[in-house]
Amino acid sequence: MTIKSIAVLTSGGDSQGMNAAVRSVVRSALFNGLEVYGVQRGYYGLIHDDIRPMDLRSVGDIIQRGGTILQTARCKEMTTPEGQQLAADNLRRRGIDGLVVIGGDGSYQGANKLGKLGIRTMGLPGTIDNDIPFTDFTIGFDTAVSIVVDAINKLRDTMSSHERASVVEVMGRHCGDIALYAGLASGAEAILVPEMNVNVDDVAHRMKQNFEHGKRHSIIIVAEGVGKGEDVSARITELVGIEPRVTVLGHIQRGGTPTHNDRILASRLGDFAVRQLIAGESGKACGVIHGQLVATDIDTVVHTKKVFNQEMYELALRLSQ
Ligand code: ADP
Ligand code: F6P
């Protein structure tokens, strides 16, 4: 089937680089002679028919901006068969042949359902969590890690002046990649992630020993999926008497200008998704593995758990002794 028009939406938690991905989808579609529509507020806009035509100028001056000009939403209706049918009907009524969904694993589930209703879909991995399999990195992850590393650099200055310990809580509900990458890049002494069973008591004892052996500061990174930084700090105090200061980085990790890596990833993936649709592909999740663009069945992607990089985790701990 020859496609003539496509729509693009951003869904779930936003991430830096979503705008660069929207820009790439819109401009690649126009370059290839397609009509292109933007859906406001993710699946909510699809169900409520908030769909607008986009042109070259609609995506001007956004490559460097965090957030998403299309806005995003968490939409309960989309998880129901009725909501999914409404979304598909709206696309069909407008004669839109394909849909590019930029979002995380929940958004991919929605795209998968639409695919089963006959909509030609492409998923782009837009989330800071890096929790999507079949791509080395998700759009926004690189920026989020840079933000965490920058924050830890600042914390280190004051922690080492005062010979203190610091607990830094980072995002990552089910995936410890932000903690892992930021931990390796900033020399954290302990990295607590949902994928690894780390005993906080052991961390506390090691921290005490390290201070006794001349360490002037100590950084512990806690992915939110493990628990609260405050609780980790309280347990350390209770056990060894050290009082780590707690920093919760929160949504700061999801904002700000995307790094060049995220802009490039988003630009490559957006264009790839459009070319896949034009080539007649559908129901795929786009990613980059070892530098190569890949398209994997979205049904496989939503039923696969991303493998945690244990080797990198062990390296981070070895190097931070
Ligand atoms: P993310 O895409 O960042 O993981 P969410 O998990 O909140 O964010 O998912 C985004 C949206 O995707 C949800 O608000 C919902 O509209 C849709 N979605 C999530 N799970 C499903 C599902 N099982 N079926 C259909 N739609 C879903
Ligand atoms: O985007 C993913 C994520 O950042 C998770 O790590 C976090 O738990 C969640 O979103 C929080 O998002 P919100 O406050 O928008 O629900």
pLDDT category of residue 214 using cuts at 50, 70 and 90: confident
What is the helix, strand, coil percentage profile of the chain, to 5?
45, 20, 35
Name which of 138, 140, 142, 134 is nearest 294 in CA terms. 134
Ligand 2, atom 8: nearest CA belongs to which residue? 173
Cα separations (Å) of 222 from 97, 172, 179?
A: 44, 9, 7
DSSP code of residue 139: B
CB 309 within 8 A of CB 136: no
Cα separation, 242 vs 202, in Å, equals: 14
Cα–Cα dist 21/28, whole Å: 10
Q: Active-site residue 129, yes or no?
A: yes
Ligand 1: which atom is nearest the Cα of residue 77?
A: 16
- Angle, alpha carbons 12-13-18 (nearest 5°): 95
Ligand 1 touching residue 78 (CB < 6 A): yes
Burial readout 230-263 (b: 16 or more C-beta within 10 A, e: otherwise): eebbbbbeeebeeebebbbbeeebbbbebbebbb
pLDDT band at 211 (very low <50, low <70, confident <90, very high): confident
Ligand 2 atom nearest 224 alpha carbon: 8
Q: How far is the CA of 79 from the centre of ligand 1 (A)?
A: 7
Identical topology for domains 5-140+258-302 and 142-255: yes
176 lines ligand 2 (CB under 6 A): no
Q: Are 66 and 16 in contact (CB under 8 A)?
A: yes
| Beta-strand pair 284-289/245-248 | unpaired
Residue 109 in contact with ligand 1 by CB distance below 6 A: yes
Pocket flag, ligand 2, residue 175 (CB < 6 Å) = no
For the ranges 16-25, 173-182, 202-211, the lowest mean pLDDT is seen at 202-211
pLDDT for 215 equals: 83
Q: Which residue has the tokens 């779930």?
A: 12
State residue 147 phi and psi, 5-degree precision.
-65, -45
**Integer Rg of the chain from CA:** 21
The pair of three-digit structure tokens given for residue 161, joined into one six-digit string: 């002046």
- What fold is seen in the domain 5-140+258-302? Rossmann fold (3.40.50)
Whole-number Å distance, alpha carbon 172 to ligand 2 midpoint, is 7
**Residue 90 C-alpha to ligand 1 middle, in angstroms?**
19
Q: Is 125 in the pocket of ligand 2 (CB under 6 A)?
A: no
Catalytically annotated residue among 14, 97, 105, 129? 129
Cα–Cα distance between 132 and 106 in angstroms, integer?
10
Report the DSSP pairing between strands 284-289 and 218-223.
Answer: unpaired
Q: Where are the alpha helices (DSSP H) in 187-227?
A: 200-212
Atom of ligand 2 nearest to the CA of 14: 1
Give the DSSP per-residue string, 146-198: HHHHHHHHHHHHHHHHHT-EEEEEE--SS--HHHHHHHHHHT-SEEE-TTS--
Q: What is the mean pLDDT of the chain?
A: 97
Report pLDDT for 1: 75
- Report, at the CATH architecture level, how domain 142-255 is classified: 3-Layer(aba) Sandwich (3.40)
Domains in the chain: boundaries: 5-140+258-302, 142-255
Q: What is the mean pLDDT of residues 85-92?
A: 98
The band of 320, judged by pLDDT with boundaries at 50, 70 and 90, is confident
pLDDT tens digits for range 232-291? 999 999 999 999 999 999 999 999 999 999 999 999 999 999 999 999 999 999 999 999
pTM over 0.95: yes
pLDDT band at 321 (very low <50, low <70, confident <90, very high): confident
Ligand 1 contact via 74 beta carbon (within 6 Å)? yes
What gap in Å lies between CA 43 and CA 58, rounded to an integer?
20
